[in-house]
Structure 1
Amino acid sequence: MKKNIETLSKEQILTATEETLRRFGIAKTSVTDVAKTLNVSHGTIYRHFKSKAELLEGATEKWLNETIIAPLTAIYEDHSLKGSDSLKTYIQTLIELKRSSAYHEKELFEMYAKVTEEAGNLIEQHVNRMTNQMSEIIKRSDFQASAPDRLAHSIFFATTRFHHPSHAYEWDSPTIDQEFLDLWELLEKGFLNKK
């Protein structure tokens, strides 16, 4: 029995897209496959999303919000962590979430990596959400920072090697964790001077 297309929501389509990607991977997933998962015509999907690229952007945004932003927001809202410990925990959590996704949600991580290359606006919004939270952590901490927003961006981009999908091939290195700790020590001694 066909689903009532009038009641089909974007959220249902995005959830079906994730299921389909897990089954077939990004290279073999089509809009028609998503439609089959929902038992609707592919035209129904196109009523909500203009193209496969737009559908993948929507699925990536949903995935980023649920898999990355929600746990990071919990760290951001945890006021029991103080000073550089709060910021370090935030960055380490970001790194752990990306690594875990690369290893345990390969198809969705591949989707995210592909969309990262093609959907600059979505990724810019995602990065801004994280750096805004980092900036607020800096403001409420004991850092000597005249420009917390710039410092947050600098720290985010200084640690890119450890969380950007284009560097995923490096994450299996046996020295990667120590390399992050070495970098963090430099950041604490330099940019994160305490008042």
Structure 2
Amino acid sequence: MAATETLTAERILEATEEVLRRHGPAKATVVDVARALGVSHGSVYRHFRTKAALREAVTKRWLDRTSEALAGIVADTSRDPERRLRDWLAALFEAKRHKAGDDPELFATYVVLTGEQGRAVAEHLDDLTGQLTRIIEDGVAAGVFSSDDPAATARAVFHTTGRFHDPQYAPEWKDPRTDADFAAVVDLVLRGLRA
């Protein structure tokens, strides 16, 4: 790291991601991160008080990327609610499949980290089901969907489509039949939601 570059939390998270990619979660240390940045490990600890806090921040950053990408679909009211729901589910599936396929080492690392980070994962799941709730509420308001409890319906939709976004199913995502299975599940969900 050049002396003129400021050490920021974001730079530390970027370096941590690279260290995790190279060493994996079992072997990556704060010292490795500091070495990659050209600083002392104490400098890293000034931003993240513990190794666990650093790992949680990296996990949250990774999960937030997906949430942020999906938020744009939720906010796009130029699309009708059914189209938004279909697009949101497809974007979630594609984001997870993309992460698993394009960088399998880092994906495997994040599977381990998300298993450790219950709070970050719970917040992420709450955010995702909250996004689904907004789409379903818009569909109910437009008379397109029927639901007495959009939040419960959103959770049901999320769990019903779990095979296409839960990392435990990542090995199945390469199966050529998966896209047809996904389309069939989404069609079934939409048929069930229609008013």
TM-score by length of 2: 0.88
Structure 2 CA distance for partners of 1:33 and 1:59, relative to 1, 3 Å: same
Match of 1:51 in 2: 50
Q: Contact between 2:114 and 2:121, CA under 8 Å: does it hold in 1?
A: yes
1:36 Cα offset (Å): 0.4
1:41 Cα offset (Å): 1.6
Match of 2:146 in 1: 144
1:119 Cα offset (Å): 1.3
Which blocks of at least 5 consecutive residues in structure 1 are unaligned?
A: none
Distance 2:131 2:76 in 1: 12
1:39 correspondence with 2:41: no
Distance 2:68 2:152 in 1: 23
Structure 2 CA distance for partners of 1:45 and 1:178, relative to 1, 3 Å: same
2:153 aligned partner, one-letter code: L
1:12 aligned partner, one-letter code: R
Of the structure 1 ranges 39-48 and 116-125, higher mean CA displacement relative to structure 2 is found in 39-48
Q: Once superposed, which parts of structure 1, at least 4 consecutive aligned residues long, lie more than 6 Å away? A: none
Q: Contact between 1:56 and 1:111, CA under 8 Å: does it hold in 2?
A: no
Match of 1:181 in 2: 183
Of the structure 1 ranges 81-90 and 94-103, higher mean CA displacement relative to structure 2 is found in 81-90
CA deviation map 1:98-133 (0-9, x unaligned): 000111122332232112211111101001111111
Structure 2 CA distance for partners of 1:3 and 1:106, relative to 1, 3 Å: farther
1:72 correspondence with 2:73: no
Q: 2:105 aligns with which of 104, 107, 116?
A: 107
Q: CA RMSD in A?
A: 2.0
Report the secondary structure of 1:17's partner residue. helix
1:193 aligned partner, one-letter code: R
TM-score by length of 1: 0.88
Distance 1:140 1:115 in 2: 34
Report the secondary structure of 1:171's partner residue. helix
Identity of aligned residues (%): 40
Which blocks of at least 5 consecutive residues in structure 2 are unaligned?
A: none
